Amino acid sequence: MSRISYVNGQYVRHREAAVHVDDRGYQFADGVYEVIAVSNGRCIDLDPHFDRLDRSLRELQIAAPMPRSALRVVVGETVRRNRVQTGIVYIQVTRGVAKRAHPFPKDTHPAIVVTARHFPPPSEAYINNGVKVITAPDIRWGRCDIKSISLLPNILARQAATVAGVYEAWLIDKAGDVTEGSASNAWIVDAKGKLVTRTLGNELLGGITRAAILDAARQNKLDVVERAFSLDEALHAREAMVTSTTAFVLPVVAIDGKPVGSGVPGPIYQRLRPLYEARVSAELGAFTA
């Protein structure tokens, strides 16, 4: 089956899908994106992703390319036309096409691309045995709360992780605290048994999965706190985890080659994973009703 992508108002064959060389996303990384998980052909947490997209656009003063109701149709149609059951939807919006010059162009429409493809859920090995991370200095800009397509520092950190043969790189700020992963949020279970993830701020992305896990943990009366934690604290934590749209929640069993806790997935992770899965089933179930 040939894949279909949505590009600026048209569904086109993916191999022919193209944007203009003067697209400001291509020229300046002047754009934002979202990645949404698809399960049973349905999007997980679609509205929170749309909310975050709206926020990213607003922060960069890029106009919404279409109303949310229309975008919902385009996303659903792109999933359907690609027959994605388990996978991801990618949405990218840029400031549009204009002669290359730094200031915002006048009278330019935002450009939008939506793609959808099969993407396997995390492997059983990751779910049951955990993943390893390395650390890298956080060399990103001051607005990491915006889901910008400008991802060079994230790419460099993830490449270092790949070369090291591990799943993710945790980014460490100048104070020695963990900001987040290159493409995931970072969590620990501290010495008191509290589930900890960094408070939201300009220095990290408000993960949709982070919010879902916080919500599930609180509803189930787990002891949760949002605060910064240092790499040193993480190295001595009882447990560590990552969350993201593609990972859901995965246990981190080693940081920079040193085992976390006893070096195997811990009890808080074992509680959270089914809670997250139940939440998704409830949402998708409610969707079909």
Count of residues that bind ligand PMP according to CB under 6 A? 14
Number of H helices, E strands in the chain: 8, 15
27 binds ligand PMP, rule: CB under 6 A: no
Q: Which stretch binds ligand PMP (CB under 6 A): 3-11, 101-109, 183-191, 278-286?
A: 183-191
43 binds ligand PMP, rule: CB under 6 A: no
197 binds ligand PMP, rule: CB under 6 A: no
185 binds ligand PMP, rule: CB under 6 A: yes
251 binds ligand PMP, rule: CB under 6 A: no
Q: Across 178-238, where does the E strand assignment appear?
A: 178-181, 185-189, 195-197, 224-226
Of 32 and 111, the one with the shorter C-beta distance to ligand PMP is: 32
Of 86 and 262, the one with the shorter C-beta distance to ligand PMP is: 86
Q: DSSP per residue over 106-157, as a string?
A: SS-PPEEEEEEEE-PPPPHHHHHH-EEEEEEE----S-TTS-BS--HHHHHH
The rounded distance, in Å, linking the Cα atoms of 48 and 55 is 10
Of 75 and 183, the one with the shorter C-beta distance to ligand PMP is: 183
Q: Which stretch binds ligand PMP (CB under 6 A): 9-17, 115-123, 159-167, 176-184?
A: 176-184
Strand-pairing partners, residue 10, are 7
| DSSP state letter for 220 | T
Of 78 and 209, the one with the shorter C-beta distance to ligand PMP is: 209
Least CB distance to ligand PMP at residue 197 (A): 11
The rounded distance, in Å, linking the Cα atoms of 254 and 130 is 9
Note whether 218 and 206 are within 8 A (CB): no
| DSSP state letter for 23 | B
135 binds ligand PMP, rule: CB under 6 A: no
Note whether 111 and 94 are within 8 A (CB): yes
Of 104 and 119, the one with the shorter C-beta distance to ligand PMP is: 119
Q: Is 174 noted as a catalytic residue in this protein? A: no
The span from the first CA to the last CA of the chain, in angstroms, equals 30
242 binds ligand PMP, rule: CB under 6 A: no
Note whether 189 and 239 are within 8 A (CB): yes
* Given 7, 116, 157, 205, the residue binding ligand PMP (CB under 6 A): 205
Which of the residues 99, 132, 147, 174 is marked catalytic?
Answer: 147
Contacts for 34 with CB less than 8 Å, ≥ 6 apart = 49, 50, 52, 53, 89, 90, 91, 147
Q: Which stretch binds ligand PMP (CB under 6 A): 94-102, 159-167, 193-201, 205-213?
A: 205-213
31 binds ligand PMP, rule: CB under 6 A: no
Q: Which stretch binds ligand PMP (CB under 6 A): 114-122, 220-228, 229-237, 241-249?
A: 241-249
183 binds ligand PMP, rule: CB under 6 A: yes
Instruction: List residues near ligand PMP by CB under 6 A.
Output: 35, 154, 180, 183-185, 205, 207-210, 243-245
Active site residues: 147
